[in-house]
Chain A
Amino acid sequence: MKETIPTAETASRRPEPAARGGRPRRRKLTFDRVTFFLAFLGVPLAIFVIFVLIPFGQAIFWGMTDWRGFSPDYNFVGFDNFTKMFQDDIFLKALRNVALLAAFVPLVTLTLALGVAVAITLGGPSKGPVRGIRGASFYRIISFFPYVVPAIIVGLIWAQMYDPNAGLLNGVLTGLGLDHFDTFAWLGEKATAMPAVMFVIIWGLVGFYAVLFIAAIKGVPGELYEAAKIDGAGRLRTTISITLPAIRDSVQTAYIYLGIAALDAFVYVQAMVPNGGPDNSTLTISQRLFNVAFAKQQFGYATAMGVVLAVVTLVFAALVFLVNRLTGGGEGESKRKAPGSRARRAAAKGGAR
């Protein structure tokens, strides 16, 4: 290739210092190298810019217009969309709902995931090196199951579980003699709809984070546990004083991405309560945004909701960082193994999507 196409680079190319063992990155720009860079960096970046970056940027601008989509003209309305939003009762309700989701879902999911991870990894005999509990891989496989099932299917399964007439849940409860639940509509009652939805999201996500924490716990040096044992620390004490601090970074990352998943929650609510639930008690911002955009064609207003959702997400992440820092989260530690924690963040994100 490079011989047949003479370019400025190839023409003016000077002979390179022949294959020295030094830094390759200081070599001169050859045609080969230029095309290599263009293809390797240019193509992925172009796709990323066109389909991710530009839409994100446009969102911030369109959020300040009254654009309705199919006509080219729109007016710049500044922050009108945002003031309108905060007088919109339905949106405020959705905001309150996602605040509830963000408050409970990550906390409960992580508590359960940590419980499962600790039980699996540290449940074995305390003698010798840290060993897993008997049947560890069985439990691990089972608890990961829901993560393999598409979220939409998780929602559909539980919509059936909660079904007032045909659902297993009411079947079990009436079977236990609780006739009150004979035709109880879990997703149709204002008091239970939201907790029921939360439970399903938690059910779907615990397994992934349990496996993540199992990996993190296995990475804790065994000597730490030995030392704790010699000092006479019990299991509970060891978990709180050794395990939790050691995997702190993983927990923080998981918390942030669970928060992102909970603030979104679109798939789950679409599957179980597509209409927003009784008195909109399970309506999420994502659902509201989707309807305002694709059913009502108020694209400017919908995009502004997206901006608010993004801001809420960032505030949530900042809060998690802040709490971790205030309670003594190690800045030094996270700096020391920065590449690792980045990959971990990436891994957790893969789970959240």
Chain B
Amino acid sequence: MAEIVKTKQAIQVSKPKKMHRHLEYIKKNYILYLLIAPAVILTIIFKYVPIYGALIAFKDYSPIKGIMGSEWVGFKHFTDFLTSPNFLQILVNTIKLSSFELLIGFPIPIILALMLNQLRKSGVKKNIQLVLYAPHFISVVVISGMVFLFLSPVGPINAVLGIFTDKPISFMSEPEYFRSIYIWSGVWQGAGWASIIYVAALANVDPQLHEAAKLDGASLLQRIWHIDLPTLKPVMAVLFILAAGGIMGIGFEKAYLLQTSMNIPSSEIIATHVYKRGLLAGDYSFATAVGLFNAVVNVILLVFVNQVVKKLNEGEGLI
């Protein structure tokens, strides 16, 4: 009986005791907390304060009254955006651009890695990789500039096409070409670099597996399908969740650079809209609401994709 009372007491004191133990730890290792402090402080200032600042999405922000002083308007800006005539077009543009980018941009590095893996001379492989990585080091401004130069009505692409047709195509002012230009210039720049991680994973495959499969008469394609691809599956799962979670957060930078007044019907996406309505037109509250809408959809999407991949990948997801 006495013992039971004792354990009860022990359970009761355990919580404050734990707190106490933690405080002791922090006191003893305060240096560790000092080391992490700069990162924490800057994150609060530049990441968490803006989340608080996003309150202006529910207000009519006026620079004179400030964030707190401005009047609440509830979901007015959200309904304004959702009922605006170009809402559907912007949303569809965003989803189309990023999901096509994912569909094309995701498998290509994997295929590239499988192809590189077949090269037996490591010197040749190294040199090819060197070339494949190069575009990654070119800035997005220069890539876009090259796109404009190459696709201009007097540019080299039209010069080649001129053999077949006599009317030059002005690629950058036709909305129908925007998505292809965006996606394939992205593949040109990023596929080689994105293949690194798969090439490394393939290097870990035990060569004896391939030898044994060869003895059993497996063809090259069979071995790739049954040995190489399963090796890549975990990496693929993680990268796919990350990429799919970023669907709504599609890179503003290149879309904005490749946008011309003529191709806006397909190039205006949420991010460019936020920038133009917010910083260029000064419509702060409305732009913040649009951005917030985007961020929330993004989080929902990430959780959803994570669940799906978990199901397909034997319970292994990212979160």
Tell me whether A and B are bound partners: no
**Which residues of B come within 8 Å of A, CB atoms?**
none
